[in-house]
Chain A
């Protein structure tokens, strides 16, 4: 439906705009910070700086993986990179956690272009490192840890990126051989995040990366095909990294946690090519990989997304947390709105419009043709109460115009439309001013008429009163 698309587009735009601002911020600070560090060829110096990054790293990384890292130049550099990226990710604002992992990889790519280091290549060939990196990447992609995961993933991608596609395949082959399940999960995860970037980036780096999932798609049919489909189908918002709707068992790209390892190997061996209308979901670490629960999770995420949107709509709901309270607020708000409609219609029923003749004429065909003409037509009545009953409209309008040059009360020049307004003829004759002001009038009238500046309308009437006194 159109409205659905509009709704989704709104949500998308919001998240995209948030992403965009965050990305530009991060890009700016990242390029400054990291550029300085990495252009420093003296790795010994950077080793001293690695201590804070070490601590950052150790908080992110599991202990066995950390203990395995031998202190060699490239590895330290790699960890430094991870640490810095992680710090930058941390130092981003809170939207970092809700925005996708696109953002860290994005400025990471710029770093790659900056670097052009060949030192990355040899350590990319290190199978042990690859295995460790994949293990890092095995960490959950929950909302908070997603950002932590990003830099690790990026460094892994960096490593594979720095070489050409051949070395990539070799690297992937190596990683696969070392620890098939973990590596596959890492690889497929890389593909998923890579493929997610594909629609949004145009770097030469991404062109290289595009070859990776395509190439690997042949080798690993089911997850890669699924991810390629992900890339092709990636029209959803990138706001949640693994947020796709789950297709049941056949397409389970269940992320391999230790539990799901055997399952994944089973699924890898399944026949590939899920149908294109499925949207793919990745189970998070520690979650059941049952297709039912996947679908459930997707449904829950959809619902929470909609609740957030409703939170924006309903005023005063920012502090409210929890579905039940939120629903209460929504119900109250809808009830109050409906009651307001009833009250207003009751008011309209009792109020006797003084110039209902005008209304009919105003609603004539000519008025409908021009934009906003109704508001325009209604507005003059607003200023009329400023006049005492006996006051001649013509005289009243003249001072009106003179006294309030900046307001839009010159809309009395509605004669351009040539309607028959018996009681407003006086106005029309008095004001030969033509609808050159039409457009401005309409806009400002709409502004006034629709409650934005309703106090201003009273101002107008007050000032007309004053002008009258002056006369």
Chain B
């Protein structure tokens, strides 16, 4: 890493500041007692995880589909989300079928045969990457690349923080 250019507005530093803020907030709200029940620990874990994802998505500022999807997922309550996802899924399926139907002739054969080989993995990737359901392969790969980059940053920072905490 370049020692001389600590970019104050880099993804890493943005994420770090936000995440630490959220973390201290969580710790302040409910300090960890030595006798926490597993349930409390689990709740805490969920909150921290959500905080991490949210702060990462905020650092990206909705420029990416996956960040938008993450923020949306964490903001809207689950019942509204279910309704919305119904509408989204149905429209998505429609668009998919129409696009494949528009290509005629030999090209259709090419598409389907190629798609068939990768179909399962594509679906998996779509599930993994938030907001990946509504994208074609090309954009999906783009999003995946950016998502991987952000995830590695997140893991790095969190690992450092955890090490620092645990060393005390």
| Interchain CB contact under 8 A, A349 and B41 | yes
**A residues in contact with B24, CB < 8 Å:** 356, 359-360, 363
Most buried by A among B6, B53, B128, B149: B6
Interface presence of A372 (CB below 8 A): yes
**B residues in contact with A3, CB < 8 Å:** 60, 63-64, 146
Nearest A residue to B146, CB-CB:
A3
| Interchain CB contact under 8 A, A334 and B156 | no
| Interchain CB contact under 8 A, B144 and A337 | no
Interface presence of A4 (CB below 8 A): yes
Nearest A residue to B148, CB-CB:
A313
**A residues in contact with B152, CB < 8 Å:** 337
Within 8 A of B (CB), among A340-363: 340-342, 344-356, 359-360, 363
Interface presence of B76 (CB below 8 A): no
Please encode chain B, from 117 to 155, with 1 for each CB lying within 8 Å of some chain A CB and 0 for all others: 110011011001100000001100110111111011011
**A residues in contact with B149, CB < 8 Å:** 313
Q: Contacts A292-B103, A374-B20, A444-B3 given; indicate if A341 touches B52 (C-beta within 8 A).
A: yes
Q: How far is the CA of A196 from the CA of B156 in the complex (A)?
A: 42
Quote the shortest CB–CB distance from A98 to chain B (angstroms): 19
User: 9 extra interchain contacts, Cβ-Cβ under 8 A, other than A349-B32, A350-B32, A378-B164?
Assistant: A296-B111, A313-B148, A324-B121, A344-B155, A351-B162, A352-B165, A355-B168, A356-B27, A452-B1
Q: Contacts A4-B142, A363-B21 given; indicate if A353 touches B168 (C-beta within 8 A).
A: yes
Interface presence of B107 (CB below 8 A): yes
Interface presence of A69 (CB below 8 A): no
Residue numbers of B with Cβ under 8 A of A are: 1, 3-4, 6, 8, 12-13, 16-17, 20-21, 23-24, 27-28, 31-32, 34, 41-42, 44-45, 47-49, 52-53, 60, 63-64, 103, 105, 107, 110-111, 117-118, 121-122, 124-125, 128-129, 137-138, 141-142, 144-149, 151-152, 154-168
Q: Is the interface of B mostly helix, strand, loop or mixed?
A: helix
Nearest A residue to B129, CB-CB:
A334
Q: Contacts A307-B141, A341-B151, A349-B41 given; indicate if A443 touches B128 (C-beta within 8 A).
A: no
Q: Contacts A341-B52, A345-B52 given; indicate if A359 touches B3 (C-beta within 8 A).
A: no
**B residues in contact with A356, CB < 8 Å:** 24, 27-28, 31
Partner of A348, one of B16, B23, B141, B156: B23
Quote the shortest CB–CB distance from A365 to chain B (angstroms): 12
| Interchain CB contact under 8 A, A374 and B16 | yes
**B residues in contact with A349, CB < 8 Å:** 32, 41-42, 44-45, 47-48
**A residues in contact with B157, CB < 8 Å:** 450
Quote the shortest CB–CB distance from A341 to chain B (angstroms): 6
Q: How far is the CA of A11 from the CA of B122 in the complex (A)?
A: 23
Q: Contacts A327-B125, A368-B17 given; indicate if A447 touches B3 (C-beta within 8 A).
A: yes
| Interchain CB contact under 8 A, B160 and A450 | yes
**B residues in contact with A33, CB < 8 Å:** none
**A residues in contact with B6, CB < 8 Å:** 371-372, 442-443, 446
| Interchain CB contact under 8 A, A313 and B27 | no
Quote the shortest CB–CB distance from B67 to chain A (angstroms): 10
Q: Contacts A327-B125, A334-B144, A338-B128 given; indicate if A351 touches B138 (C-beta within 8 A).
A: no
| Interchain CB contact under 8 A, A310 and B141 | yes
Please encode chain A, from 304 to 345, with 1 for each CB lying within 8 Å of some chain B CB and 0 for all others: 001101100110000000011001101101110110111011
Within 8 A of B (CB), among A27-69: none
Quote the shortest CB–CB distance from B159 to chain A (angstroms): 6
**B residues in contact with A340, CB < 8 Å:** 155, 159
Quote the shortest CB–CB distance from B41 to chain A (angstroms): 6
Q: How far is the CA of A327 from the CA of B118 in the complex (A)?
A: 8
Q: How far is the CA of A447 from the CA of B6 in the complex (A)?
A: 10
**B residues in contact with A313, CB < 8 Å:** 145, 148-149
**A residues in contact with B160, CB < 8 Å:** 378, 449-451, 454
**A residues in contact with B155, CB < 8 Å:** 337, 340-341, 344
**A residues in contact with B12, CB < 8 Å:** 450
Q: How far is the CA of A356 from the CA of B47 in the complex (A)?
A: 17
| Interchain CB contact under 8 A, A330 and B125 | yes
Partner of B122, one of A327, A354, A385: A327
Q: Contacts A7-B145, A381-B167 given; indicate if A331 touches B161 (C-beta within 8 A).
A: no
| Interchain CB contact under 8 A, B128 and A331 | yes
Nearest B residue to A309, CB-CB:
B145
Partner of A337, one of B47, B105, B146, B151: B151
Interface presence of A471 (CB below 8 A): no
Quote the shortest CB–CB distance from A88 to chain B (angstroms): 36
Please encode chain A, from 185 to 225, with 1 for each CB lying within 8 Å of some chain B CB and 0 for all others: 00000000000000000000000000000000000000000
**B residues in contact with A381, CB < 8 Å:** 164, 167-168
Nearest B residue to A448, CB-CB:
B160
